[in-house]
Structure 1
Amino acid sequence: MTIKEDISVMVIHILVADDDSHIRELLRYHLQLEGYAVFEAADGEEASACLEREQIHLAVVDIMMPNKNGYQLCEEIRRDYDFPVILLTAKDQLIDKERGFAVGTDDYVTKPFEPKELLFRIKALLRRYQMVSADKIQIHDTVIDRKSYEIYGHGKVLMLPMKEFELLSQLASYPDRTFTRDELIRLIWGSDFDGDDRTVDVHIKRLRERFADRSEDFTIRTVRGVGYKLEVKAK
């Protein structure tokens, strides 16, 4: 499930999964004020059932839930669906955040939180996911054409080796989402790849060198101890 429709004219469906009814009520109030349709789940199993019934465009998921915790739910979403996830949690330790990004979350908000800040993050994620089209990804002056396997911009046409192109396309499809090295190996090289994750590091280094002259469009960041993400520069 991807966000293919124009989010400016559709009703966005947001799943709020949290066993705290007060948190759900708070989020429902603020999200509905912004025009979002809100679906609620008191635990991970309810959230999974909701995903099967409804078309969800973004999920706000608490980590400490009964029956199925937020990490497990996030893994399920990342495996079976294609929409942004925000983990909502009282845990503020680096190791917990690392685990959250490792299972595929797009963002991480620590309780207590300001509802307005969460709304800003939701809007930013929806904009980023909308950037992805079926055939082309545009990041300012750089256009990645997934049909022709060419990259246009700055008066040049660039052809990359296939794995470098696929790696860049994967990162550019989800700006600001952190991918672990293992995820990238599985997505680009396949689950039967018998090399190690240093292969990812080598290809990232080559991409950085090739696009050093386009640093005003985007940059590929290292997330220490986790993996990589592509950041779009503000203009």
Structure 2
Amino acid sequence: MPSLFNKQINILIVDDEESIVEFIKMGLEAEGFTVHTAFDGNEAIKLAQEVSPHIIILDIMLPGINGYEVCLEIKKFIKTSIIMLTARDDVDDRVKGLDLGADDYMIKPFSFKELLARINVRLRNSFPELADLLSIGDFSVDNGAHEICYKDKLLELSPTEYNLLKYLLINNGLVLSKSTILENVWGFDFNGEMNIVEVYIRYLRDKIGDKDHNIIRTIRGAGYKVAIQ
């Protein structure tokens, strides 16, 4: 399932260890984030002013200006969440970082899975409006506005069509049975015919021009799948 936060999110990684930077960068780009990198404090401050990152992953021990000073300076001019990622695990170091404006603190060595979870927490807390936006291929979903665009064109969808298409999109790559779709789109108490799913799939295919069923695929004996790279 794709992240609710994706390529619209700018993340700045600041660390003088190139191997760590590349490891984090590769993982975050695979999740769909836009990633920027800096290897010293001055470069980090300059880049932060240019790209206004939503999240900054910041080491403390940096050439020139250390991470504490970088954190203090950046917090003066942009809204961002800073996760300090450092080998310094002393309680006083953590307290100092948090007192200077850091939003979270992780110790090396670290788990990328945990770092990703903390990034998503910070995004939900600091930028809740972005959780309503989702981009998958040529589709963009605005949950707040209850709208879906395809190839930059707004689709005219009924509430049920919207809910069905959104459900298919957020489960991109997964095969969904008719019963699963019914439970999640129509609800557990739906008493109508199961073929209602087929009817609405046909409506959606017509509206997005999917004549060859390349976007919404029928998986014989299993259900339906959206497969978008």
Q: TM class, shorter-chain normalised?
A: 0.5 to 0.7
Deviation (angstroms), 1:132: 7.4
Deviation (angstroms), 1:46: 0.8
- The corresponding residue for 2:120 is 123
Q: What is the letter of the counterpart of residue 49 of structure 2?
A: E
Instruction: Please point out which of 9, 19, 26 is paired with 1:12.
Output: 9
Deviation (angstroms), 1:52: 2.1
Question: C-alpha deviations, 1:14-55, integer Å up to 9, x for none?
Answer: 000000000100100110011001100010011111112213
Q: Which runs of 5+ in 1 are unaligned?
A: 1-6, 134-235
Runs of 4+ in 1 over 2 A off after TM superposition: 7-10, 130-133
8 A Cα contact 2:7 2:32, kept in partner: no
The change in CA–CA distance for 1:45 and 1:33 in structure 2 (over 3 A counts) is: same
- The corresponding residue for 2:59 is 62
Secondary structure of 2:93 counterpart: helix
- The corresponding residue for 2:47 is 50
- The corresponding residue for 1:25 is 22
Question: C-alpha deviations, 1:74-101, integer Å up to 9, x for none?
Answer: 1012211111000011011111111011
The change in CA–CA distance for 1:23 and 1:10 in structure 2 (over 3 A counts) is: closer
Q: Give matches, 1:90-169, under 5 Å.
A: 90-131=87-128
**Bigger radius of gyration:** 2
RMSD, aligned α-carbons: 1.7
- Quick one: distance in 1 between partners of 2:58 and 2:92? 18
Deviation (angstroms), 1:131: 3.6
Question: C-alpha deviations, 1:92-130, integer Å up to 9, x for none?
Answer: 111111101110100000000011100000001000012
- Quick one: distance in 2 between partners of 1:107 and 1:131? 17
- Quick one: distance in 2 between partners of 1:9 and 1:120? 14
1:82 aligns with 2:79: yes
The change in CA–CA distance for 1:118 and 1:8 in structure 2 (over 3 A counts) is: closer
Q: What is the letter of the counterpart of residue 18 of structure 2?
A: S
- Quick one: distance in 2 between partners of 1:15 and 1:71? 16
The change in CA–CA distance for 1:68 and 1:132 in structure 2 (over 3 A counts) is: same
Give aligned pairs, total: 127
Identity rate, percent: 39
Q: Which runs of 5+ in 2 are unaligned?
A: 131-229
